[in-house]
Amino acid sequence: MGAPGCGKGSMADRIEKEYGYPKVSTGGLLRDAVRNGTPLGLEAASQLGKGKLVEDRIVLALLRERLEKEDCRAGYTLDGFPRNLSQAVSLKEMDGRRPEAVFDIAVDEETIVKRILSRLTCGRCDAIYNSVAKPPKNDMICDVCGGPVIRRKDDDPVVIKERMRTYHEQTEPLIAYYDKGGSLHRIDGNGTVDETYAPIRKVLDRMLGGERGRGAGR
């Protein structure tokens, strides 16, 4: 969890790579559905990119379908879900054992805005780049899939304000919700990707008994 641009996606990528728990990003699922023109994608299209939350019904339908896939059976890393209290309750109903750990990544607002304005994303596979710190190797071509690297429509100064407002109003209250449940870990996300990841890795290693790989410790 964390505000837009806090590094959720990059941390989920790292966890997937190191521990094998696939990254499940609801923003990514929504963008995919829109790109593929599926019925839910057509509904979501008019709601995406404005900085507001997409209807729970649409997000939950996409998430449910994704979590039913075989690769999620041993565990998964949610990125950008839940984003409001009713989604947190739905998650509990969907998978009562989870979440086992919640990471709240805190970053100063000034840093967030700077990061988002320099963020680039693959328009095909959603890989994350940064125009300053981590540009694609070949001019605006994704290193991973060869797709076009673009600036997301909502990575824009006006939409960022709305995304931050939505975050404070609807998502931030979940920190107290998960803190009460005892699964919350507070992470300082102001440093580099490595610095932010280090304490997350420590928690996961402790939980998984230092084992690596898909389904480790289960």
Q: Which residues contact ligand AMP (rule: CB under 6 A)?
A: 4, 26-27, 30, 48, 51-54, 59, 80-81, 83, 87, 154, 163
Least distance to ligand AMP from the beta carbon of 164, Å? Answer: 11
- What does R_g of the chain's alpha carbons equal in angstroms? 17
Q: Is 137 a catalytic residue?
A: no
Residue 116 Ramachandran class (φ > 0 left, ψ -120 to 50 alpha, else beta): alpha
Q: Is 115 a catalytic residue?
A: no
Least distance to ligand AMP from the beta carbon of 199, Å? Answer: 22
Q: What three-state secondary structure class fits 206?
A: helix
Question: Which of these is catalytic: 98, 119, 180, 201?
Answer: 119
Cα(127)–Cα(134) distance, rounded to whole angstroms? 11
Cα(197)–Cα(76) distance, rounded to whole angstroms? 17
Q: Is 119 a catalytic residue?
A: yes
Compute CA 11 distance to the chain's CA centroid, rounded to the nearest angstrom.
8
Least distance to ligand AMP from the beta carbon of 105, Å? Answer: 13
Q: Would you call 59 exposed, middle or buried from its count of C-beta atoms within 10 A (0-12, 13-18, 19+)?
A: buried
Question: Which of these is catalytic: 14, 31, 83, 115?
Answer: 83
Smaller CB separation from ligand AMP, 48 or 184: 48
Smaller CB separation from ligand AMP, 62 or 204: 62
Residues labelled as active-site residues: 8, 83, 119, 152, 163
